[in-house]
Amino acid sequence: MTGEPAQAAAVREWKEETGQTIGAPRLCGLVENFFVLGGRECHELSFCFRVELAGPLPSHALDNAAVEFRWVPLAELPTILLYPVCVPDLLNVPAGQIAHFVSDTRA
């Protein structure tokens, strides 16, 4: 929402998509994503947060049953297409630090 800080948006989005409340998310990364969509070049900025769940992970998003939530062993991450593609690297950002990642699939 316009005028909503990224941390508040993360809390709201998690609640809307899972029905769960989370504590204060901790920013761990900024991702710049360059890509082409419908013949147009796009530049997307994503704020990525670490969160702690208050309960079990739901199986699907409340607002889109096609979106599945599941735990994946870290060793399997390279075999799964995730967005942003730097998710494995985000998981390695030390607590209290923020990393900047750039992905460019325009070529």
Q: What does the pLDDT average to over 89-93? A: 93
Q: Let me know if residue 70 belongs to a domain.
A: yes
**pLDDT at position 1 over 80:** no
What is the total count of domains within the chain?
1
DSSP 64-103: EEEEE-----GGGGGGS--SSTTHHHHTTSPTT--EEEEE
If pLDDT is split at 50, 70 and 90, which confidence band does 82 have?
confident
- Name the phi and psi angles at 9, rounded to 5: -65, -40
**pLDDT at position 78 over 90:** no
Q: Let me know if residue 14 belongs to a domain.
A: yes
Q: What is the CATH number of the domain that holds 52?
A: 3.90.79.10
Q: Let me know if residue 83 belongs to a domain.
A: yes
If pLDDT is split at 50, 70 and 90, which confidence band does 2 have?
confident
Q: Let me know if residue 44 belongs to a domain.
A: yes
- What is the sign of the dihedral through the CA atoms of 11, 64, 102 and 2? negative
- The Cα 18–Cα 24 span in angstroms is 16
Q: Let me know if residue 57 belongs to a domain.
A: yes
Which pLDDT does position 54 carry in this prediction? 83
Q: Let me know if residue 13 belongs to a domain.
A: yes
Look up the pTM and report it: 0.83
Kindly report, residue by residue over 8-63, the tens digit of the pLDDT. Answer: 999 999 999 999 999 899 999 999 999 999 999 999 999 999 998 888 888 999 98
Q: Let me know if residue 1 belongs to a domain.
A: no
Q: What does the pLDDT average to over 73-77? A: 90
Q: Look up the domain containing 92 and give its range.
A: 6-104
Q: Let me know if residue 96 belongs to a domain.
A: yes
